[in-house]
């Protein structure tokens, strides 16, 4: 019997060894069949530079939190437009709308918000929740130890208000910079377009929201996403780069009050898609939408809060770019396919951080598009499960300033830019002219 047991053990070890070797050989064959990076796409991605990305974020922070309905918001829009023109993306335009208004809202939802800036769902994000110790709009579950198996430890989230109970004193510079309150009225989004050479009637939209709140500099939310869009626009607007299909670079307004700038764009322009104007001109003011890629909070992936509610000051080793689609959208399959296209681009062209794909896109400017066109969002964390549970302690706080972030943080945002640019280059047939 003993020799039979020994033989069985030897056989099992041999089978396992063979199985491992077989898997390694299959993996090696799979790697061998993956085509190498396209030299032209790699050259474009290499034009993205950390220092330029940081400089663009720094330029945005001069306008404070860029809260919608203020002079600092309007000045930031003018600055963004001037920067886009300096990159060669000179055909800048603006979408004008009124906030609050049904025309700048979800047509299938009740009217939301007021001129004072109440956010999604009435007294939601924009209603004035404070920092730790502030009861206004707070989540009664925040700050507790443990939590559900889904969320783990949680930390407080909310929008800083200097007059809220328990609010920490505000730096005088930030208090002066962000002092002007919002008022209802006219709002604008700004955008420019890279015109496709063979299919100008089709386009991808990439976006980030330029407004913020919280009495800081909105460096991450969403200076990081705005700068990403602008940097991709800079590279793709180079005179030696051409694309077969068009790309529109849009900087949304009023995201923090309910995605109003994105809703205004979708509501105004969805029925204009693919229509030549004037007839026979070969010009398409609103090319047919092929996909929408949003960027919202790109830099802070420091992990879950501890039992004390505090988050590590260091970027976690497993930091990644989160690519999300909404599994409940009407065209979830197509959106998921777009998400995986960006994941594949990250695998091949990103320099430092990997990407993951998730099905719970929410609370960002791709939402108005998700039932109309394949739509995805890139973020630093999963929006619902991580950001909403307090993984980013600077979210809507005065600490969301340029000096809070390290080069590791900025580089996470740069890797998201590499991911989007590489994917867009593949999807639109981008080449570098000789």
Predicted confidence at residue 280, as pLDDT, reads 92
Backbone φ and ψ of 370, nearest 5°: -70, -20
Choice between 2 and 107, residue whose per-residue pLDDT is larger: 107
pLDDT value of position 25: 61
pLDDT (mean) for 311-327: 97
pLDDT for residue 360 is more than 60: yes
| Of residues 382, 307, 381, the one with CA closest to residue 142 | 307
- Give the predicted TM-score (pTM) of the model: 0.86
Name all domains of the chain by residue range, CATH numbers in brackets: 39-432 (3.40.630.10)
Q: For 249, phi and psi rounded to 5 degrees? A: -105, 110
For β-strands 199-209 and 245-252, DSSP reports them as: parallel
Q: Is 430 exposed, middle or buried (0-12, 13-18, 19+ CB in 10 A)?
A: buried
pLDDT digits (tens, 9 = 90+) for 7-30: 444 444 454 444 445 555 654 554
58-70 pLDDT tens trace: 999 999 999 999 9
Q: What is the pLDDT of residues 118-146, one digit of tens each?
A: 333 332 333 333 333 332 333 333 333 33
Question: pLDDT by residue (tens digit) across 383-429?
Answer: 988 999 999 999 999 999 999 999 999 999 999 999 999 999 999 99
* Tens digit of each residue's pLDDT (9 = 90 or more) over 272-290: 999 999 999 999 999 999 9
Q: Give the DSSP letter of residue 166.
A: T
Q: Mean pLDDT check: name the lowest of 7-11, 181-185, 326-330, 398-402.
A: 7-11
Nearest C-alpha neighbor of 157 from the set 312, 403, 406, 386: 386
For residue 48, pLDDT beyond 70: yes
Between 212 and 17, the more confident residue is 212
In this predicted structure, what is the pLDDT of residue 32?
54
Half-sphere exposure of 402 (CA within 13 A, CB side): 14
Which are the contacts of 14, defined by CB distance < 8 A and separation ≥ 6? none
- Please provide the size of the chain in residues: 434
């Amino acid at each position: 019997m003993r020799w039979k047991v020994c033989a069985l053990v030897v056989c099992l070890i041999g089978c396992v060894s063979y199985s491992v070797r077989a898997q390694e050989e299959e993996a090696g064959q799979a790697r061998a069949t993956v085509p190498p990076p396209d030299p032209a796409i790699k050259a474009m991605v290499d034009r993205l530079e950390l220092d330029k990305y940081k400089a663009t974020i720094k330029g945005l922070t001069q306008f404070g939190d860029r809260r919608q309905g203020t002079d600092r918001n309007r000045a930031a829009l003018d600055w963004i437009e001037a920067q886009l023109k300096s990159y060669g993306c000179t055909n800048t335009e603006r979408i004008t709308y009124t906030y609050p208004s049904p025309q700048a809202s979800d047509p299938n939802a009740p009217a939301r918000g007021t001129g004072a800036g109440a956010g999604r769902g009435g007294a939601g994000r924009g209603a004035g929740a404070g920092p730790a110790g502030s009861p206004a709009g707070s989540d009664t579950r925040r700050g507790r130890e443990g939590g559900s198996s889904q969320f783990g430890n949680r930390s407080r989230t909310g929008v800083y208000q200097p007059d809220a109970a328990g609010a920490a004193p505000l730096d005088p510079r930030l208090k002066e910079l962000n002092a002007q309150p919002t008022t209802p009225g006219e709002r604008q989004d700004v955008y420019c377009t890279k015109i496709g050479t063979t299919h100008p009637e089709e386009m991808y939209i990439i976006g980030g929201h330029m407004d913020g709140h919280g009495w800081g500099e909105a460096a991450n939310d969403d200076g990081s996403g705005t700068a990403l869009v602008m940097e991709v626009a800079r590279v793709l607007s180079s005179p030696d780069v051409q694309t077969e299909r068009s790309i529109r670079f849009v900087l949304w307004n009023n995201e923090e009050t309910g995605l109003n700038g994105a809703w205004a764009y979708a509501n105004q322009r969805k029925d204009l898609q693919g229509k030549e104007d004037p007839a026979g001109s070969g010009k398409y003011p609103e090319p047919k939408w092929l996909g929408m890629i949003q960027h919202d909070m790109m830099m802070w992936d420091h992990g879950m809060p501890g039992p004390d509610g505090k988050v590590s000051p260091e970027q976690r080793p497993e930091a990644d770019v989160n690519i999300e689609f909404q599994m409940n959208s009407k065209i979830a399959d197509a959106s998921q396919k777009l998400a995986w296209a960006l994941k594949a681009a990250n695998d091949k062209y990103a320099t430092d951080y990997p990407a993951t794909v998730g099905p719970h896109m929410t609370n960002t400017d791709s939402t108005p598009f998700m039932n109309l066109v394949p739509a995805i969002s890139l973020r630093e964390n999963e929006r619902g499960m991580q950001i909403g549970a307090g993984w980013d302690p600077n979210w809507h706080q005065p600490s969301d300033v340029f000096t809070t972030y390290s080069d590791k943080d900025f580089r996470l945002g740069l890797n998201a830019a590499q991911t989007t640019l590489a994917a867009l280059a593949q999807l639109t047939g981008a080449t570098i002219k000789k």
